[in-house]
Amino acid sequence: MTFIICEPCIGVKDTACVDSCPVDCIHPRSDEPDFEPHEQLYIDPEECIDCGACVPECPVEAIFPEAEVPEQWSDYVGINYKWFEEKK
């Protein structure tokens, strides 16, 4: 299982979650070239170790375990996976 970043992240992109991740699976980081054009952050489902360290660090409470993504944000599961598929 992975964690999913949902709608509250849009336009905020606070990188506290990035700094808390022990496996560096949250992208784009502020030092990556595609940080500015994207309106939110994403968690790599293949790299995420399901530790949850990012959840309490998110100031807008946008991060959920995939199985617990609120119904109104269920589209973000696919959005997250698609972002990483396009990077390959």
Per-residue pLDDT tens listing for the chain (88 residues): 799 999 999 999 999 999 999 999 999 999 999 899 999 999 999 999 999 999 999 999 999 999 999 999 999 999 999 999 887 6
Residue written as token pair 């990077």: 87
The confidence score (pLDDT) of residue 1 equals 77
Count of the separate structural domains present in the chain: 1
47-87-42 Cα angle (round to 5): 55
The confidence score (pLDDT) of residue 45 equals 94
CA distance 6 to 69: 8
Task: Give the CATH number of the domain where residue 77 resides.
Answer: 3.30.70.20
Domain range for residue 37? 3-87
